Amino acid sequence: MPSFEKTLTEILDFDFMKLNPIYQGFFAMLFFAIFVSTCSYYSNDAKISRDAYIQMFDKSFSGLIVKKYLDKDNRMSPMFQLNNSSEVYGYAILWEKAKTGDSLIKKANSRFVKILKKDTTLVIDMNTAFKYHDTFPENEK
């Protein structure tokens, strides 16, 4: 236990100003780089989500799912192929609930997607698929 106490004492007695100026500069730059990259990551995440929401909001599709697959040419993106040969991006919430043989219906300028199963109809609010839906122009009214 004495080595633990000694280590703890050394940590608590650490004085940043006693460090060599080269190390002080290194730690200051490291802190700044981590701060900037973290801020950049989260602001970019919001922009990507917002752009994807706007694209999804404008799209319209309707059809029977004939194939559910991961698109190897597009970074293993989840996709649905409908019976009219159109392809629809499989947002996570749709991917887990829709199966081959179900029908998907979405009108343009709507955030709701209907999944018609053999015995039920699910209405999915796509706001739940996007983290930043409270910042979208549709919700400013």
pTM flag (> 0.75): no
> Given a cut of 90, is residue 107 above it in pLDDT?
yes
Give the per-residue pLDDT at 117: 93
Residue 40: strand, helix, or coil = helix
Question: Which residue range is the domain that position 91 belongs to?
Answer: 1-141
**For residue 46, is pLDDT > 80?**
no
Is the Cβ–Cβ distance between 103 and 116 less than 8 Å?
Answer: yes
Instruction: Count up the domains in the chain and report the number.
Output: 1
pLDDT at 132 over 70: no
DSSP string, 55-114: HHHH--EEEEEEEEEEEGGGTTEEEEEETTS-EEE--HHHHHH--TT-EEEE-TT--EEE
